[in-house]
A and B are shown apart, each in its own frame.
Chain A
Amino acid sequence: EAGVTQFPSHSVIEKGQTVTLRCDPISGHDNLYWYRRVMGKEIKFLLHFVKESKQDESGMPNNRFLAERTGGTYSTLKVQPAELEDSGVYFCASSQGTPVDTQYFGPGTRLTVL
């Protein structure tokens, strides 16, 4: 069974540009989460989808971040316009039927904003 995949693995952009990160969860997993780790600090929750609905987006830093999960399969996280402080590693995770099920993480996308 394929794990959680993320694309791209690395992205280097200039301040003010737009970047879109993609996450493909484990097939059949209804719950999809985005987290990020900035500057070697703790990994912080961004938001949680249940199928195509946003269950909790309390961790989204500001309105420059937009997450979607059309059709309840893969998800995208767009940052527009990107700022220097957005640099970090963005992780996606998915879990099966109920939100209390174990979250399995993808390899992450390393975003560098210059």
Chain B
Amino acid sequence: GEDVEQSLFLSVREGDSSVINCTYTDSSSTYLYWYKQEPGAGLQLLTYIFSNMDMKQDQRLTVLLNKKDKHLSLRIADTQTGDSAIYFCAEFMDSSYKLIFGSGTRLLVRP
């Protein structure tokens, strides 16, 4: 079935690295996405990775993809208080063109 799993909550100290993990089920997904939702705001596209890549780096963000284990992670270096938000992992279903989301990981950054 279609299922994306994420841990619900992560708390880190400002300046530390944050790692948010996600597991998915469809091995044929072409793209995997990370979206960010700040309080009171909509879903902001943060980054994505193509399925033939193992890693993608974009400034403070690093995405790692392990296709064998169907595991995706998002690492935020030097986490800031402005990074506090809910982070959603999503896999793109090639067969139906829809995104399957996880429940979201609430990241709290402590000063």
Q: Which A residues lie at the B interface, using CB under 8 A? A: 4, 6, 31, 33, 35, 40-45, 48, 55-56, 58-59, 91, 93, 99-100, 102-108
Q: From B4, which residue of chain A is reached at the shortest CB distance?
A: A42
Does B99 interact with chain A (Cβ within 8 Å)? yes
Residues of B67-100 contacting chain A, CB below 8 A = 88, 90, 92, 94, 96-100
The answer to whether A100 and B97 have CB atoms under 8 Å apart is yes
Chain B residues with CB below 8 A from A93, complex form: 43, 99
Number of interface residues of B (CB under 8 A): 24
The answer to whether A56 and B4 have CB atoms under 8 Å apart is no
The answer to whether B99 and A100 have CB atoms under 8 Å apart is no
Q: Which B residues lie at the A interface, using CB under 8 A? A: 4, 30-31, 33, 35, 41-45, 48, 88, 90, 92, 94, 96-104
Q: Tell whether A108 pairs with B101 under 8 Å between CB atoms, given A100-B30, A100-B92, A102-B48.
A: no
Chain A residues with CB below 8 A from B44, complex form: 105
